[in-house]
Amino acid sequence: MLNYSVAELRNMKKNRKKQIVVLCKALVCIFILVFSLSCKSATKGSANPPLTDVLTDSISQIVSACPGEIGVAVIINNTDTVSVNNKSIYPMMSVFKVHQALALCNDFDKKGLSLDTLVKINREKLDPKTWSPMMKDYSAPVISLTVRDLLRYTLSQSDNNASNIMFKNMLNTAQTDSFIAKLIPRSSFQIAYTEEEMSADHDKAYSNYTSPLGAAMLMNRLFTESLISNEKQDFIKNALKECKTGIDRIVAPLLDKEGVVIAHKTGSGDVNENGILAAQNDVAYICLPNKVCYTLAVFVKDFKGNESQASQFVAHISAVVYSLLINTALN
């Protein structure tokens, strides 16, 4: 089940027209692909092409129409893998908060520390201009929160102040980068800067990068393998299932689908003076009622348009992948 607030559900209704447009485009794309593939099959008298080929073709068609660059990776039932534009690297933006959470929890495991450890935060040292639901929730000069609270704000609401606090006082970017390199290929990612540093210099966002498959691999391992203590890993997974950001991206075409369980983390960049959006990202682990589980990573960079337009491309890809997998029986 998806858990969203009443306000969010109301916003979903307002965006319903946009979602309908996205879904219509996706259905047209699927129809064309199925028709094309059936014609090929009939002509050659051969079996249907592999699912991975169908996914690659359908995603590539969407990507080719994008006024920017899109990289996509799909891992199906922990076995079959599809990637499009995976040779490029993309600014992670807040997607790196998953990496941060895993590294921090691993460090706490090693030190025998609890996520219920209390942290006192001087409000004056927080950035009032950055995205921070935590600041809106607490107005006292000194805020007392547990590490669990900070992680939940970071993962479920993408709070930048909470992330900065943990990087400054608990585990820095270099230590985070080093731990993640034990989980996914070193060449597939880099974590060099905090949210605070990227906010001060937007170009630094490009130095916190990932390949789509690198991000998908980490999310997939998080949900299918034991990486840290069960208690902390379960906490991270549940926090991602409660993610409240970017519901117009991968989540958008799945909102009204029964039996679909989604956990995801978004990342968003800024629009520069030339009208170029640096990044609009989403990485999700999705389980369908037909027992198919898949990881989907979509990274958009240098997009000539606004956030809503970029999100529509992400949602379109999500809709096509879902439509193909929900009707597929995997061996």
pLDDT digits (tens, 9 = 90+) for 280-318: 999 999 999 999 999 999 999 999 999 999 999 999 999
Alpha-carbon separation of residue 235 from 13, 30, 78, 328 (angstroms): 30, 36, 21, 31
pLDDT digits (tens, 9 = 90+) for 231-257: 999 999 999 999 999 999 999 999 999
Q: Assign a CATH topology to domain 6-326.
A: Beta-lactamase (3.40.710)
| pTM over 0.75, yes/no | yes
Q: CA-CA distance, 141 to 155, in Å (whole number)?
A: 24
Using DSSP, how many helices (H) and how many strands (E) does the chain show?
A: 12, 10
The active-site residue out of 36, 64, 83, 94 is: 94
Q: Which of 40-44, 148-152, 325-329 has the lowest mean pLDDT?
A: 40-44
Greatest C-alpha distance within the chain = 73
Domain definitions of the chain by residue range: 6-326
Q: Kindly give the residue spans of alpha helices, DSSP state H, lying in the chain.
A: 6-14, 16-44, 51-64, 96-111, 133-137, 147-156, 160-169, 173-180, 195-200, 212-224, 230-241, 307-326
Helix (H) or strand (E) holding 139: none
pLDDT digits (tens, 9 = 90+) for 171-218: 999 999 999 999 999 999 999 999 999 999 999 999 999 999 999 999
- Non-local (6+) Cβ contacts of 182 within 8 A are none
Q: Is 323 one of the annotated active-site residues of the chain? A: no
Confidence band, pLDDT 50/70/90 cuts, at residue 16: low
